[in-house]
Structure 1
């Protein structure tokens, strides 16, 4: 069993079906089916109801794991010379409610996200319900030319969020989807508003880390400079070492730093 699956835990079949039935009822539908989705997600159990609704089922264990990960991330941020800005949640429902609200805010800005439908509490679980995108690929499943073509969309969407003082907080290739020729963001996390500037820089560092292994440092940083000035990229550089030690990123830190310095000269 993968450590991700062990930490995430499992939702018993009868409870999964109960969540599926409740979701269908709340949306005026007859319950037909619910099935689990295989996704690289540590903090919820993803499923689809009636092949129409994407649900993320958040348990108390997920909330605990999120708290532990948040502590680790804040330690990493401290080591990068900044105040910790990641925030934890008290309950599974609070996690679901935050994701719904963040998704709504991104959608209002014109950033592509699955349509946010609702969040509710059911038998101790927090449940967030989103539009189901049945046919998508994650960014790291695409080839060089496709990723190169979508890189400007990624930085444009990120800059729109940042201009509105909204951050993603967990940007990685698995959280960027391509569906119907459009780029979508998913799985935003919670950050402290007081640390918004550092959180933006962290977002940019994560975007650089997600793109560099596919399209190279030069192209990645070149696209980033179309949306962020050299001072902002220099701030992002300060988070690259921390991002590089996370298990969900694997990139050439020195190559990105070198390209950032070239652009600044």
Structure 2
């Protein structure tokens, strides 16, 4: 965990307080509380302000690490037979503004995301402000039956984005939140506009990879097939090997491949 903090970039206590005070002042509030959230995230430090606002604080180190991860992901995508489609950011505020814009677009498409409020820069840090969803759960904390019940919403939301020529690009368990049985997406990344079809297939592969450990390959593929045709599922199958080598996914790739073959045969 100390290594992860190093990669994130340390935020000094006085800097955190300064960011919190500026954010609170933007909503005519006093700084009453600011607490950091422990999350398995390399690219930002999450915090809760006054138990009402969710802040994502992006350090210069986060931007550097994002560039390294983007290069690595593009190499992996290339090895899957496709030109890399991930794009990097030059500055923390650039990352923050993209995430704000992506969240707003998803809401326009009818996809649940925490309400995006604004992005601002503070002493070289990028900050994104969202509403705070209290009491959320992630896929990892749900029972298999609960995961199966929200899986159609996951693919329905993805399909809605994809129909609008928009992709998530970083779909993993931590970026899917469940609040009172409603599913929310967070943390969409930047993808080249001319590579939407490939990135869409990658999204689907990531979704299958997240669901398989909870509900099994057959059920995951069956639910995905309700929202995507056979050609699209075959495209997604090409990315499963790449997704399987990412450290944030642990699933039975061969089982998913076999179920996709059965579904599309």
Q: TM-score, normalised by structure 1?
A: 0.99
Give unmatched runs, 5+ long, in structure 1.
Answer: none
- Equivalences for 1:1-265 in 2 at 5 Å? 1-265=1-265
SS in 2 for 1:82: coil
TM-score (norm 2): 0.99
Counting matched residue pairs gives 265
- Mapped contact 1:86–1:190 kept (Cα < 8 A): yes
Cα distance in 2 for residues equivalent to 1:130 and 1:180: 18
Query: Do 2:9 and 2:60's aligned partners in 1 also have CA atoms closer than 8 Å?
Result: no
The answer to whether the 8 A contact 1:155-1:224 is kept is yes
Residue by residue, what CA displacement relative to the aligned partner does 1:74-94 show, whole Å, maximum 9, x if unpaired? 000000000100000010000
State the distance in 1 between where 2:180 and 2:94 align. 31
Q: CA deviation at 1:62?
A: 0.3
* Alpha-carbon distance in structure 2 between the residues aligned to 1:107 and 1:5: 31
Give, in whole Å, the separation in 1 of the partners of 2:101 and 2:254. 36
Q: CA deviation at 1:6?
A: 2.3
Deviations 1:1-24 (A, max 9, x none): 443222112211100000000000
CA drift of 1:135 comes to: 0.6
- Shift, 1:31, TM fit: 1.5
CA deviation digits over 1:128-167, x for unaligned, max 9?
0001011111111101100000000000000000000110
1:36-91 deviation per Cα after TM superposition (whole angstroms, max 9, x unaligned): 11111110111011111100010110000000000000000000000100000010
2-structure distance, mates of 1:29, 1:5: 29
Matches of 1:11 and 1:172, distance apart in 2: 25
RMSD: 0.7
2: CA distance between counterparts of 1:77 and 1:2? 29
Query: In 2, Cα distance between the equivalents of 1:150 and 1:3?
Result: 33
Give SS of 2:127's match.
Answer: strand
